[in-house]
């Protein structure tokens, strides 16, 4: 007889009472957090220090070298941005390299799943495609993408995808990135002791670095992944810990780079592995995802998602996970201790991401199938070690629709025969849709462990804002049932509801993983190209938000949206509040330079209203009519 299921909250309580420490207890143990760190006033870039600036202006006001609070805060922020950009871009580099290896006959576990995108992107790179085999094109494109990383004098190819207005602004301020790696290295160099000490100049360097991420490194990750793993199409799937099965082998794939996890899914569906699972007493195999590896595999294959960032440890505490296969990024080292209380085997797979206490089975593109088989087999063989009495799978699971992209959104919004952004722009112009907002990023115990996303998104759609989502934010809202068409009737304003009901889409669109925020950039560029709502991204009624940001990658993402002309609202401060000048630059001055700016607001509903006000200001500047149903109210 199947055991009664517990709720996620109950599972957390059970962990606590058995002394299993998870992220929430570790977070509490850090209280109070370091005040200098929070303010951004600690500098440890050289051995004159570490130095810190007294925020109350009683003690030291400069570091030993003389650097003031503005320089220190700006340098710290620059290094965070460089780290975030490096992380995304390195991900892009790996996928581009695999594309090249595949094309050269060295990675036979892969295929070209989107020939259309292969040819489209190759043409953009100036590669002749006529008369060439896909393999040949893939090898040339992979190589050309890799060259983008090391360019010294030229911008990466995708920079040309930005609207002409943005490109002109970037040229004027000398923030067009040359290559992808170069601005990251430059940031590390200029933040060294005694190099760049002008916070305004440092901010320009930050934007150049972030633009290399958004319009190149991350964009390469998205495009090359679409080529190798398929361009997503809208599909229905399931999310939350309830996707784990009591009578099956459960394997979790966790991290960001889908090169191994995609093959793990394929292998887990083979008759050979299903037979092995039955021989070990299980009815089948469930592969489910955590974090952005989950999003990558979800949007292309409909693989269920076990949870977002904060659920990675909880998934193990269900007692029903035989193997967790991690690649890199957002993987808590705390997993090892949690897993030691259960039978779960943890496998690290990436040469750049090892974890003491995890078994390391190293991934190689050339042997992907063989390695995936080994990992799946080892997980299945762990099934007999499961202690059935300790299995507690929460009951929660929810349907979601995922797989929207910048290319297919016009199709879903406008129908098969109208492949343009016209319907979207018209809906904005007519006032049915107020604007479009990307709500993205992590979930964080410092804020509301995911709830801020839900509150902000509900408030936005209530005011007819179409929401697009990526990363853990998308998963948080999916768990709440916001990513199904039915949620329009329940939560959306009348105008947005009409659009959603007419074309059958949810009011909240899942567009992928964190690197796929580039799909939002491309959608914005397409909206500009379609016409009628501004000449640049800075004129569009759009914005971005990360209500519970955590990672340095979120800082890089926020910056590339700001530098591209968008308002970006973060749910907690960035660590620069110790410098009033830097704060003023972020929230005011930068708007006069690139058209975008930052806002910080802890209350997600208030954050939504900062966005709505901003969108209304943009609508007014474009002389767009009032919102359709507000006009009706006026008539009455």
Chain contacts with ligand BF8 (rule: CB under 6 A): 256, 291-292, 308-309, 330, 441-442, 471-472, 513-514, 550-551, 553-554
Whole-angstrom distance, CA of residue 67 vs CA of residue 197: 7
Q: Shortest distance, CB of residue 281 to ligand BF8, whole angstroms?
A: 33
Rank residues 256 and 618 by Cβ distance to ligand BF8 and give the closer one: 256
- The answer to whether residues 258 and 229 touch, using CB atoms and an 8 Å cutoff, is yes
The residue with tokens 């000048």 is: 581
Among 271, 262, 236, 264, CA closest to 250: 264
Q: Shortest distance, CB of residue 28 to ligand BF8, whole angstroms?
A: 20
Q: Shortest distance, CB of residue 311 to ligand BF8, whole angstroms?
A: 10
Buried b (16+ CB within 10 A) or exposed e, 355-384: beebeeeebebeebbebbbebbbbbbbbbe
Whole-angstrom distance, CA of residue 33 vs CA of residue 27: 9
- The answer to whether residues 312 and 332 touch, using CB atoms and an 8 Å cutoff, is yes
Query: For residue 236, what are its two tokens?
Result: 């229905």
Among 564, 565, 582, CA closest to 573: 582
Q: Shortest distance, CB of residue 206 to ligand BF8, whole angstroms?
A: 18
Q: Shortest distance, CB of residue 10 to ligand BF8, whole angstroms?
A: 24
Q: Shortest distance, CB of residue 442 to ligand BF8, whole angstroms?
A: 3
Rank residues 509 and 624 by Cβ distance to ligand BF8 and give the closer one: 509
Conformational region of residue 493, where left means phi above 0, alpha means psi within -120 to 50, and beta covers everything else: beta
Whole-angstrom distance, CA of residue 335 vs CA of residue 355: 9
Q: Shortest distance, CB of residue 24 to ligand BF8, whole angstroms?
A: 15
Whole-number Cα distances in Å, 24 to 13, 30, 310, 352, 449: 11, 10, 9, 27, 9
Q: Is 139 helix (H, G, I), strand (E, B) or coil?
A: helix
Q: Shortest distance, CB of residue 292 to ligand BF8, whole angstroms?
A: 3
The number of residues in the chain equals 636
For strand 51-52 and strand 42-43, is the pairing parallel, antiparallel, or unpaired? antiparallel
Query: Residue 470 contacts by C-beta under 8 Å, 6 or more apart in sequence?
Result: 295, 438, 440, 510, 511, 512, 513, 514, 516, 517, 519, 520
Rank residues 219 and 442 by Cβ distance to ligand BF8 and give the closer one: 442
Rank residues 156 and 258 by Cβ distance to ligand BF8 and give the closer one: 258
For strand 305-307 and strand 285-290, is the pairing parallel, antiparallel, or unpaired? parallel
DSSP tag of 367: G
Q: What is the chain's alpha carbon radius of gyration, rounded to the nearest angstrom? A: 24
Q: Which helix (H) or strand (E) holds 144?
A: helix 134-150
Q: Shortest distance, CB of residue 438 to ligand BF8, whole angstroms?
A: 12
Phi/psi at 146 (5° precision):
-65, -35
Rank residues 67 and 83 by Cβ distance to ligand BF8 and give the closer one: 83
Q: Shortest distance, CB of residue 520 to ligand BF8, whole angstroms?
A: 13
Among 356, 308, 366, 295, CA closest to 106: 366
DSSP bridge pairs for 43 = 51
Whole-angstrom distance, CA of residue 155 vs CA of residue 179: 5
Q: Shortest distance, CB of residue 517 to ligand BF8, whole angstroms?
A: 9
The residue with tokens 């055991």 is: 3
Q: Shortest distance, CB of residue 291 to ligand BF8, whole angstroms?
A: 3
Among 137, 188, 125, CA closest to 161: 125
The residue with tokens 């889908």 is: 258
The residue with tokens 């009683």 is: 58
Q: Shortest distance, CB of residue 65 to ligand BF8, whole angstroms?
A: 33
Whole-angstrom distance, CA of residue 407 vs CA of residue 427: 18
Q: Shortest distance, CB of residue 532 to ligand BF8, whole angstroms?
A: 33
Query: For residue 468, what are its two tokens?
Result: 């697009």
Whole-angstrom distance, CA of residue 558 vs CA of residue 574: 11
For strand 285-290 and strand 249-254, is the pairing parallel, antiparallel, or unpaired? parallel
């Amino acid at each position: 007889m199947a055991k009664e299921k517990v709720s996620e909250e109950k599972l957390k309580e059970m962990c606590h009472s058995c002394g299993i420490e998870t992220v929430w207890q570790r977070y509490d143990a850090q209280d109070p957090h370091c005040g200098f760190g929070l303010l951004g006033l600690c500098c440890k870039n050289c051995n004159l220090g570490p130095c810190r600036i007294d925020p109350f202006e009683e003690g030291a006001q400069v570091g030993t070298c003389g650097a003031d609070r503005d320089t220190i805060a700006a340098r710290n922020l620059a290094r965070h941005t460089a780290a975030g950009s490096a992380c995304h871009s390195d991900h892009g580099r790996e996928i581009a390299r695999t594309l090249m290896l595949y094309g050269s006959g060295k990675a036979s576990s892969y295929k070209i799943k989107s020939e259309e995108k292969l040819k489209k992107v190759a043409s953009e790179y100036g590669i002749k495609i006529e008369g060439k085999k896909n393999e040949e094109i893939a090898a040339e494109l992979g190589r050309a993408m890799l060259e983008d990383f090391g360019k010294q004098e030229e911008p990466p190819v995708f920079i040309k995808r930005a609207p002409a207005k943005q490109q002109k602004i970037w040229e004027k301020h000398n923030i067009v990135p040359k290559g992808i790696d170069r601005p990251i290295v430059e940031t590390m160099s200029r933040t060294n002791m005694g190099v760049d000490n002008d916070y305004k100049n440092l901010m320009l360097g930050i934007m150049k670095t972030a633009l290399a991420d958004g319009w190149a490194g991350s964009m390469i990750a998205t495009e090359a992944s679409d080529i190798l793993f398929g361009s997503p199409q809208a599909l229905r799937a399931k999310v939350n810990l309830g996707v784990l099965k009591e009578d099956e082998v459960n394997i979790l794939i966790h991290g960001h780079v889908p090169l191994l996890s995609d093959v793990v899914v394929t292998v887990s569906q083979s008759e050979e592995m299903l037979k092995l699972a039955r021989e070990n007493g299980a009815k089948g195999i469930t592969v489910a995802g955590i974090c952005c590896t989950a999003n990558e595999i979800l949007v292309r294959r409909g693989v269920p998602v076990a949870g977002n960032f904060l659920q990675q440890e909880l998934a193990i505490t269900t007692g029903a996970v035989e193997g967790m296969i991690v690649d890199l990024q957002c993987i808590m080292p705390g997993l090892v201790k949690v897993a030691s209380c259960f039978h779960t085997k943890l496998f690290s797979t990436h040469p750049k991401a090892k974890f003491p206490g995890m078994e390391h089975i190293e991934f190689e593109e050339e042997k992907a199938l063989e390695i995936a088989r080994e990992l799946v087999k080892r997980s299945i063989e762990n099934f007999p070690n499961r202690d059935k009495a300790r299995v507690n799978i929460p009951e929660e699971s929810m349907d979601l629709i995922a797989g929207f992209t910048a290319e297919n959104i016009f199709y879903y919004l406008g129908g098969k025969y109208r492949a343009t952004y016209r319907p979207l722009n018209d809906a904005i112009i007519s006032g049915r849709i107020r604007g479009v907002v990307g709500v993205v990023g992590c979930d964080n115990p410092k804020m509301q462990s995911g709830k801020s996303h839900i509150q902000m998104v509900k408030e936005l759609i209530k005011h007819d804002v179409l929401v697009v989502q990526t990363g853990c934010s998308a998963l948080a809202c999916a768990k709440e049932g916001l990513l199904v068409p039915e949620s329009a009737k329940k939560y959306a304003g009348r105008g947005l509801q009409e659009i959603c009901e007419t074309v059958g889409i949810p009011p909240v669109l899942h567009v992928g993983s964190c690197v796929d925020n580039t799909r939002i950039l491309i959608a914005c560029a397409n909206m500009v190209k379609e016409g009628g709502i501004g000449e640049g991204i800075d004129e569009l009624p759009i914005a971005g938000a990360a209500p519970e940001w955590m990672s340095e990658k979120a800082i890089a993402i926020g910056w590339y949206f700001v530098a591209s002309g968008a308002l970006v609202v973060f749910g907690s401060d960035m660590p620069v509040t110790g410098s009033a000048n830097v704060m003023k630059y972020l929230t005011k001055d930068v708007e006069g330079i690139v058209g975008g700016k930052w806002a910080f607001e802890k209350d997600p509903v208030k954050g939504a209203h900062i966005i709505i006000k901003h969108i209304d200001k943009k609508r007014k500047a474009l002389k767009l009519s009032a919102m359709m149903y507000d006009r009706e109210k006026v008539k009455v």
